[in-house]
Structure 1
């Protein structure tokens, strides 16, 4: 029995020696004094919070990583976070209340600064730096955990506090500024996502600091022996935080896989047609994936969307909703300038949106115009763009799907549109769209429907209603004369 117990005793003895070596040279009293001196509410803390929050929100709106890093350098949030972790390790409720008060006040000040600057700023378009902080995932949790460990270690060993403060500020100040930007612009989806990231990081950093403090022997005065329940409770919190973040990470991974599979599937479906993916957007929604793509090709493939749907469902093993629009062009190689969101810094969100739209349209354009709010854009196609009306109509639909929230108008060059088949709903819709984009007031003449066309009078009435809904005014209903073979057509004169 003694022999069987020896390995256990040796293991415990080895662990004790490791812990003793790690804790050697740590002055608990001095460390606690330093922690709580830096973790309290003070005028310096409030001033540095204001400065840090202002720099952070401006850097986010400018989409400038360098400016955001500057905000991290002056952020004072390391102090109260580490103090919160030590308070939990020591079960010092007075210090815990002090740390929480400091954090709540600091967060309120940072939010106020971010909201005010957002309201005063003309930059209201979410940048890549902002959007990157609205979808937290499991990797963000790991970053926060290591930041908390590093922060507590730096304080205990009294080395590198400034650099570790940057690591902690990385996880805290930019998300708070992003929450303020979302509130200031009225975009609650941005605020909710960034707030979830902030709370995840806050809890993870504090609990990581608690575990690190416990490892170095910081525990309640009345209980100098280790208490396993605290470690178990901390790990349980980490597990609870990990569940939604793992789900978010899976969604991001699924979108990436769907994008890659869509490109592969399009290459196979349009083999020999010299096709190119012009626009592609994949989003994980609920338990499934929604994929929207626009393909430029020399030859239409009738069942391309159905093939894409089947391919993606088989490859992703999850419900898929696929939409595939096709544009017939003379030179699909031009579509190699497929949509890629601009990641460079640009001080003007309107210019950023205009650049992204220009990159998204692989055809000759006369101009790409965006309004001051970035809510509406007009793309003027040149006559040599090589698109017929149906293809230009599909291009507009693809751009609207890609640039969600932007009212994109694609205006094709004025071209012949002398007659529309009443029985063809798609042709009627395309004609109405073109007339609206040209701001035309056509003269119409509905040619005598043949007896074989059912519902022709209803189709004529529907055409009138579509024109009215699109804001197209009819010049008169005495357009070009009907000729032999014009039955079931509406003749147009654009003037």
Structure 2
């Protein structure tokens, strides 16, 4: 124990940490975890609104604006200090504020997204749905930087005005991405990926803060006693519970280290799988592009699409030059070897610009019209007219009235005339003649026909 204490004292000296600043730093972090602070909640709501709109607008500049006002670093650093100083009450206070902040930010973001007329996942949103080990490394380094600024007394105007405020980039935007998924109807993939990113950064920053505060010996009794907890309503409530006995100190340092290690290990497994998937996709995509350039010159490639699936890689290429089956098979073999999965390359040849220009010229040329057929002769016209009017005439003529002897169909500019000669005992009634004229006009498809009926003699 003495050896560890001396090592920490040596590191404290090398880092030029002022022991007299410890009480002030402790109070500063303690006050930053005040759940009843109106300023804190105003900053949280404003940051959540700016981050949500920045994500929806796909604007990195607007998202950066949310980073500048996000107050989440306060309770997160307080949680790290609580672990380092074995301060159970500070841990409860910080954890309560973190949980309510998470719920509040997600709820506000989801409500804002739900009220928007469109719900399109932008690149800023999608970029926060696939975290990996690199994000964990960034969060650890950011947490170290922010904690060092605090313990060295260089925080200036308070815990939310850190020069390393860029740490909050990995806190508020993922929360608002979760809110976007919730407000858009429960997009599970977006919500789960963004949640993993947030909790990765949360755990990493707490672990980094724990390390810095432990090295800085912030568990000094004088620093803890500098905080007046009596006015705190939550403290007065918990003071009358079974937890009051553990407020002085709870657990050994090694068990707190084990607890953080277990949490980080639980996050390490999915983050490592995500990093391996990213490596696989990067290798497959890079190899596929190189192979496409080998199959067809760059200026002949009209379009290319690389579809990386969990079980295989499919590359679709549209080019003005074709490739032999042997070259395609060799490219597929090399892509499968590089990606470790079956590969398929489909190359579709399309016409080049010169071919299209020639085709347009060919289509634009005049095609000579076919010669019209010779006009029909008069004999042919006569036979056609006779056939067309005699059949309906014989069908319409009233045989019971008399015998139709002959018929002639004539026409001039005034219309058509049908002259009939018949044998009957009595003349053809006008009503019968008009009915015959109307029926013939309808059968022949003309407007009207004048019927002239001439009786030749008596029918015996």
After TM superposition, the score normalised by the length of structure 1 is 0.59
**For the structure 1 residues 184 and 224, does the alpha-carbon distance in structure 2 shift closer, same or farther, using more than 3 Å as the test?**
closer
Q: Which runs of 5+ in 1 are unaligned?
A: 1-8, 333-382, 388-495
Q: Aligned partners of 1:99 and 1:206: how far apart in 2?
A: 11
Q: Which residue of structure 1 aligns with residue 11 of structure 2? A: 18
Query: Residue 327 in 1 paired to residue 349 in 2?
Result: yes
Query: Residue 154 in 1 paired to residue 149 in 2?
Result: yes
- Given that 2:295 and 2:328 are in contact with CA atoms closer than 8 Å, whether structure 1 keeps it comes out as no
Q: Aligned partners of 1:203 and 1:134: how far apart in 2?
A: 17
Displacement of 1:305 in angstroms is 5.4
Q: Which aligned runs of 4 or more in structure 1 are off by greater than 6 angstroms?
A: 9-15, 222-226, 383-387
Q: Which residue of structure 1 aligns with residue 23 of structure 2? A: 29
Task: Show the 5 A alignment for 1:13-412.
Answer: 16-22=9-15, 23-41=17-35, 42-160=37-155, 161=159, 162-164=161-163, 166-186=165-185, 187-219=187-219, 227-270=253-296, 275-276=300-301, 278-283=303-308, 285=310, 288-299=311-322, 301-302=324-325, 306-316=329-339, 318-331=340-353
Displacement of 1:92 in angstroms is 1.8
SS in 2 for 1:27: helix
SS in 1 for 2:319: strand
Q: Aligned partners of 1:126 and 1:385: how far apart in 2?
A: 44
- Given that 1:118 and 1:184 are in contact with CA atoms closer than 8 Å, whether structure 2 keeps it comes out as yes
**For the structure 1 residues 386 and 28, does the alpha-carbon distance in structure 2 shift closer, same or farther, using more than 3 Å as the test?**
farther
Q: Aligned partners of 1:240 and 1:220: how far apart in 2?
A: 31
Displacement of 1:183 in angstroms is 1.3
Displacement of 1:65 in angstroms is 0.7
Moved more, 289-298 or 169-178: 289-298
Q: Which has the larger radius of gyration?
A: 2
Q: Aligned partners of 1:11 and 1:331: how far apart in 2?
A: 76
Displacement of 1:93 in angstroms is 1.9
**For the structure 1 residues 77 and 274, does the alpha-carbon distance in structure 2 shift closer, same or farther, using more than 3 Å as the test?**
closer
Displacement of 1:211 in angstroms is 1.0
Q: Aligned partners of 2:131 and 2:249: how far apart in 1?
A: 37
Displacement of 1:304 in angstroms is 6.1
Displacement of 1:206 in angstroms is 1.0
**RCO higher in 1 or 2 (8 Å CA, sep ≥ 6)?**
2
**What is the alpha-carbon root mean square deviation over aligned residues?**
3.2
Aligned residues: 325
Please give the per-residue CA displacement for 1:399-437, whole angstroms capped at 9, x wherever unaligned.
xxxxxxxxxxxxxxxxxxxxxxxxxxxxxxxxxxxxxxx
Q: Aligned partners of 2:13 and 2:206: how far apart in 1?
A: 24
Q: Aligned partners of 2:348 and 2:301: how far apart in 1?
A: 10
Q: Which runs of 5+ in 2 are unaligned?
A: 222-247, 361-460
